[in-house]
Structure 1
Amino acid sequence: MTEHKTGTRQEWLAARLELLEAEKELTRRSDQLARQRQELPWVRIDKEYRFETDEGTASLADLFGGRSQLLVYHFMFGPDYEAGCPTCSSIADGFNGFVVHLAHHDVTLCAVSRAPLAKLQAYKRRMGWSFPWASSFGSDFNYDFHVAHTKEEWQSGAVEYNYRTMDVGPSEAGAQMASSAGTDWETYRREGPGMSAFALEDGAVYHTYSTYERGLDILWGMYQWLDRAPLGRNETGFWWRRHDEYDGR
């Protein structure tokens, strides 16, 4: 017997209509926030960044692939990782499906990680992914966009991430994810997830937006479904796995 509140169809409908008003307000607020994102001032990028891609060495402008907009997912895969971050991997599972739609709407989606290209290519084959993925190995790109930090920064306790100074201590879930990536916690935490948006206009590249931590929730399709399931996220600790690691798949 369920312990959740039960009721009649009429009671459900009344409660659902009340919730619908709240959902509509959230939608309107979300539309307003989208406009605010688009109204942020663009910051021109004059620094030269070099990436390694399946097509060879590329500049940041090259990553646009002939389009005027670029969305970069900062995928946690450090040079010393043996596998990509399991959380980033779960998020990236959705990329193959909509990257083609974005490409036909003047937007290129590309993941960027600090691991050497060969590691990214091998992991990409394992996961069955086809979306663009560039290596920033040896570049300042991840550091400049605050998704990579040096050992010295962490030891100082003054790491800039998600627009604030922070220091993340070890946790059981963190240690599990680090082990899952084939590394230790101190090495694992030098990388961070995020996404950044860029515009290309008259040959110049502009940074337009970046988000981190819970700002990535909306990109994690799995959770959007769970938020609508009867028990919601209903989670304790690190429960998700790479899609080829579940039993009985």
Structure 2
Amino acid sequence: MTDPKTLKSAAEMVARNAAHVVGESAAYRKARNALAAEEIELRRHIERVAEQRRALPPGAPIAKDYRFQGREGEVGLAELFGGKDTLIVYSFMYGPQRKQGCPMCTSQMSAWNGIARHVSQRAGFVMTARSPIARILAWGEEQNWKHLRLYADSSGDYTREFVSAEDADMPGYNVFRRQNGTVHHFWRGEGGRETADPGQDPHDAPDMSALWTLLDTTPEGRGEDWYPKLSDR
């Protein structure tokens, strides 16, 4: 891991930064520089966490052949890697009981749709839900998801073991790694209401949603009770 002792202080780095906005006040610049130092420390902390994540020992070996239904038919978990050694599987909330997909999941996946073909240069990247594949594909068509690989966990075996033992309609983010011919579980998002701070919605850090990342740069922020809707109206 990066040795913090070899890094320049954030305050020193900010002092050398000539950034400014025309017409800004001295009070604004002082506050903005203080914020910039915190942003540098945040960036460093995010990288330390990422290094710690990458250093995890091999996770549980996957012995079961989980099966999924895709556009071209049935495939196993190992086939979802797409020739890569790493696989990201996002389970989204679109069970048979839902009339429409979860707005938050849909928002997040719509953002991922734009980068999916770039992510796939380094890792397999697939989405799965508990509805029949025809229904999932129809939802993808409606959302104009041209680059997302969509699959149905028809049996629910994968969902019960890696998302919810009760097969609840909830999201799940799991990463798998193939080493020496064996697939291992690597990491999953484990944030939830038990790990949320008072007044905050539970989410992982760093946040997987570009929506929240963008809104966090605005004066209003993400809000305490606002969530995206499926319609702009």
Q: Is TM (by shorter chain) over 0.5? A: yes
Contact persistence 2:216–2:222 (CA under 8 A): yes
Kindly indicate whether residue 229 of structure 2 is the aligned counterpart of residue 241 of structure 1.
Answer: yes
Amino acid at match of 2:232: Y
The aligned residue for residue 154 of structure 2 is: 137
Larger RCO, structures 1/2 (Cα 8 Å, 6+ apart) = 1
Kindly indicate whether residue 32 of structure 2 is the aligned counterpart of residue 54 of structure 1.
Answer: no
Give the deviation of 1:8 after TM superposition: 5.5
Instruction: Check 1:8–1:203 CA distance in 2 against 1; reply closer, same or farther (3 A cut).
Output: closer
Contact persistence 2:129–2:152 (CA under 8 A): yes
Kindly indicate whether residue 25 of structure 2 is the aligned counterpart of residue 36 of structure 1.
Answer: no
Where 2:204 maps in the other structure, the secondary structure is helix
Kindly indicate whether residue 125 of structure 2 is the aligned counterpart of residue 109 of structure 1.
Answer: yes
**Deviation by residue 1:93-149 (Cα, 9 ceiling, x = unmatched):** 111111111122x21211111111011011001000021011111131011013362
The aligned residue for residue 209 of structure 2 is: 220
Instruction: Check 1:41–1:79 CA distance in 2 against 1; reply closer, same or farther (3 A cut).
Output: farther
Contact persistence 2:46–2:206 (CA under 8 A): no
The aligned residue for residue 70 of structure 1 is: 87
Amino acid at match of 2:54: Q
Instruction: Check 1:217–1:81 CA distance in 2 against 1; reply closer, same or farther (3 A cut).
Output: farther
Structure 1 alignment gaps of length 5 or more: 1-6, 151-189
Q: 1:11 aligns with which of 27, 35, 39?
A: 27
Distance in 1 (CA, whole Å) between partners of 2:181 and 2:132 is: 28
Q: TM-score, normalised by structure 2?
A: 0.79
Contact persistence 1:78–1:191 (CA under 8 A): yes
Q: Percent of pairs identical after alignment?
A: 31
Where 1:51 maps in the other structure, the secondary structure is strand
Where 1:129 maps in the other structure, the secondary structure is coil
Q: TM-score, normalised by structure 1?
A: 0.75
Distance in 1 (CA, whole Å) between partners of 2:131 and 2:222 is: 31
Amino acid at match of 1:109: F
Distance in 2 (CA, whole Å) between partners of 1:31 and 1:54 is: 37
Where 1:208 maps in the other structure, the secondary structure is strand
Distance in 2 (CA, whole Å) between partners of 1:133 and 1:95 is: 12
The aligned residue for residue 219 of structure 2 is: 230
**Deviation by residue 1:143-183 (Cα, 9 ceiling, x = unmatched):** 10133625xxxxxxxxxxxxxxxxxxxxxxxxxxxxxxxxx
Q: Work out the number of aligned pairs and report it.
A: 198
Give the deviation of 1:86 after TM superposition: 1.1
Give the deviation of 1:66 after TM superposition: 1.3
The aligned residue for residue 178 of structure 2 is: 200
Amino acid at match of 1:44: P
Contact persistence 1:51–1:57 (CA under 8 A): yes
Distance in 2 (CA, whole Å) between partners of 1:75 and 1:56 is: 20
Distance in 2 (CA, whole Å) between partners of 1:234 and 1:201 is: 42
Structure 2 alignment gaps of length 5 or more: 1-22, 193-202
Where 1:40 maps in the other structure, the secondary structure is coil
Amino acid at match of 2:38: A
Which residues of 2 match residues 40-189 of structure 1 at below 5 A? 40-42=56-58, 43-104=60-121, 106-130=122-146, 131-147=148-164, 149-150=166-167
Q: CA RMSD in A?
A: 1.8
Contact persistence 2:163–2:171 (CA under 8 A): no
